[in-house]
Amino acid sequence: MLFHVRMDVQLPPDLAPDARASLLARERDRALELQAAGSWPELWRIVGEYANFSIFDVESNDDLHEILSSLPLFPYMSIQVTPLARHPSKLGA
């Protein structure tokens, strides 16, 4: 199942620099792990925003929720999920 996900990051302004660096490093490691596993095939920065558009390829809604809530940045993100279906006019569909 494919999902389009928008993540908007809002870090606490008073987060200590060390804690911020550690949090972002853990988020990056988890993102790389999920990309390598094929669960997170697309990750794009939204120009001019601390936000991304992502595509997740997972087995179920529950799997997506588990993945998203496992992200170290999860407590600091607003997340919007849109389930995707194949479009009949897509070349090769």
Instruction: Return d(Cα 90, Cα 45) in angstroms, integer.
Output: 24
Selected from 23, 35, 52, 79, the binder of ligand LWBT4IAB by CB under 6 A is 52
Q: In this structure, are strands 77-84 and 2-9 parallel, antiparallel, or unpaired? A: antiparallel
Query: Closest distance between ligand LWBT4IAB and the C-beta of residue 91, in Å?
Result: 30
Selected from 2, 4, 6, 9, the binder of ligand LWBT4IAB by CB under 6 A is 9
Q: Which stretch in 11-19, 27-35, 55-63, 80-88 sits in contact with ligand LWBT4IAB by CB under 6 A?
A: 27-35
Q: Confirm if 93 and 13 have CB atoms less than 8 A apart.
A: no
Instruction: Return d(Cα 33, Cα 5) in angstroms, integer.
Output: 18
Query: Closest distance between ligand LWBT4IAB and the C-beta of residue 24, in Å?
Result: 7
